[in-house]
Amino acid sequence: MMDVRQLSPFISVSPQLAPADVGLAASMGFKAIIGNRPERESEDQPANDEIRAACERHGLAWHYLPVVSGRIEDPDVAAFRALMNEVRGPVLAFCRTGTRSATLWALSEAPRLDAEAILRATATAGYDLGAQRERIQALAGEGGAPLQVAGKRHDVLIVGGGAGGQSVASSLLKRQPDLDIAIVEPRTEHYYQPGWTLVGGGVFERRETVRPMAEVMPKGVKWYQAAAAAFRPEQQLLVLEDGECLGYRILVVAPGLQLDWDAIAGLRETLGQNGVTSNYLFDLAPYTWSWCRTPARTAPSSPSRRCRSSAPVRRRRRCTGLRPLETTAAAGRSRG
Ligand SMILES: Cc1cc2nc3c(=O)[nH]c(=O)nc-3n(C[C@H](O)[C@H](O)[C@H](O)COP(=O)(O)OP(=O)(O)OC[C@H]3O[C@@H](n4cnc5c(N)ncnc54)[C@H](O)[C@@H]3O)c2cc1C
């Protein structure tokens, strides 16, 4: 019976695997298996060749990186880290109990992740690595980061510093203030989008809905002012527009929506004129209000009609959406 324990979405560890477990590991989504137990440590240990053959049958990559119990040396850690950077995950690593695999992961992540976060992750998985605390702390900040990771790794990396991204960061920090959280957001301004309804309704000025991004970033969050360009989930890496890579344990993606104005023929050309407007655009919300407060009268639509009468002609306004309708109605009422 397999006993798989997750350390991060990228890597899990387990006690000794049997060749028959490999199919199940494949069905659980693992893409690679790492054997950290040297051959013939005990009588009842299956041969690694059998596990390798099972991996081949089930389409998993097999990597053999044996370490002796209680003697994990720096070159072992460096080799494990290099493997983590090239292997396609999720990965399942095993030894006799899983402790050596968990220790290798903890030490290889030490230059990039917070020591306490590593110890918490391993403890949650059932491995008490408290005895490794000093070694993990000593590795912190060492130049052990892989070539791809020019920046840091973070416990939580958030793409998008809008309402969603910032709320997630604040909420997580409220529950766990020592979390290492970073937000990737290219804008220097933060927009309070619901406020645009109030701009369209004449209650807010447009400038009241914009604030400097630096002012609204939750305290304690690292802000990368850049756009995310690509995801490399197999390696738990995010690529920024300038090619820099950031590592993460958990990735949150909140880049917002892109409105497709061209989905309605002619809409883009007429937005902002002829009474066609939308509060969903920062630039147009003031036009909504200017339209709402203009008396509901207009010139007749044809010259012949204009000749017939000089009286104002009521024009119908079309509102899709309840709030613009209500603000228009409120504006009308306030004018009597
Ligand atoms: C007029 C209007 C009225 C609304 N009224 C309400 C309301 O009354 N109640 C309500 O609950 N909601 C309301 N909403 C909706 C609410 O504002 C949105 O749901 C919310 O802002 C969405 O947050 P978000 O973080 O998902 O997206 P956004 O706030 O749009 O933020 C996305 C962020 O991701 C960044 N980003 C984009 N691409 C990348 C990239 N490649 N790399 C890094 N960052 C990137 C953007 O720069 C942006 O800052 C309203 C919205 C509008 C427009």
Separation CA 202–CA 258 (nearest Å): 25
CA-nearest residue for atom 13, ligand 1, is 194
The burial class, CB within 10 Å (0-12 / 13-18 / 19+), for 190 is buried
Ligand 1 center from residue 162 Cα (angstroms): 5
CA-nearest residue for atom 12, ligand 1, is 194
Encode pLDDT of 28-41 as tens digits: 999 999 999 999 99
Query: Does any domain span residue 266?
Result: yes
Res 144: pLDDT: 45
Res 49: pLDDT: 95
Q: Which atom of ligand 1 is nearest to the CA of 187?
A: 47
Question: Is 60 exceeded by the pLDDT of residue 185?
Answer: yes
Question: Is 60 exceeded by the pLDDT of residue 322?
Answer: yes
Portion of the chain with pLDDT greater than 70, in percent = 87
Res 296: pLDDT: 58
Domain end among 219, 253, 287: 253
Question: Is 70 exceeded by the pLDDT of residue 146?
Answer: no
Residues 73, 77, 82, CA angle at the centre, nearest 5°?
145
CB of 254 within 6 A of ligand 1: the answer is yes
CA distances (Å), 101 to each of 16, 129, 166, 184, 321, in order? 11, 11, 35, 32, 57
Residues 246 and 266 in one domain: no
And the tokens for 93? 């690593």
> Which residue from 193, 196, 204, 242 has its CB within 8 A of the most atoms of ligand 1, so it is best to mutate?
193
| CB neighbour list of residue 154: distance below 8 Å, 6 or more residues apart | 180, 181, 182, 222, 246, 247, 248, 249
Q: pLDDT averaged over the chain? A: 86
Encode pLDDT of 262-321 as tens digits: 999 999 899 988 888 888 999 988 988 888 777 654 434 444 333 333 333 344 555 556
Res 316: pLDDT: 53
Helix (H, G, I), strand (E, B) or coil at 190: strand
Ligand 1 center from residue 193 Cα (angstroms): 7
Residues 296, 274, 261, CA angle at the centre, nearest 5°?
130
What's the whole-model pTM score?
0.59
Query: Does any domain span residue 202?
Result: yes
Query: Does any domain span residue 147?
Result: no
Res 9: pLDDT: 79
CATH value at residue 81: 3.90.190.10
Residues 95 and 70 in one domain: yes
Query: Does any domain span residue 146?
Result: no
Ligand 1 center from residue 160 Cα (angstroms): 9
Query: Does any domain span residue 144?
Result: no
| CB neighbour list of residue 99: distance below 8 Å, 6 or more residues apart | 69, 127, 129
Task: Confirm if 109 and 153 have CB atoms less than 8 A apart.
Answer: yes
Portion of the chain with pLDDT greater than 90, in percent = 54
CA-nearest residue for atom 39, ligand 1, is 255
Encode pLDDT of 225-277 as tens digits: 988 888 888 678 898 887 778 988 899 999 999 889 899 999 989 998 888 88
Phi and psi of 231, rounded to 5°? Answer: -110, 140
Give the count of domains, the chain: 3
Write out the residue range of the structural domain in which residue 277 sits: 261-334
Residues 300 and 323 in one domain: yes
CB of 197 within 6 A of ligand 1: the answer is yes
Helix (H, G, I), strand (E, B) or coil at 98: coil
Helix (H, G, I), strand (E, B) or coil at 74: helix
Residues 249 and 265 in one domain: no
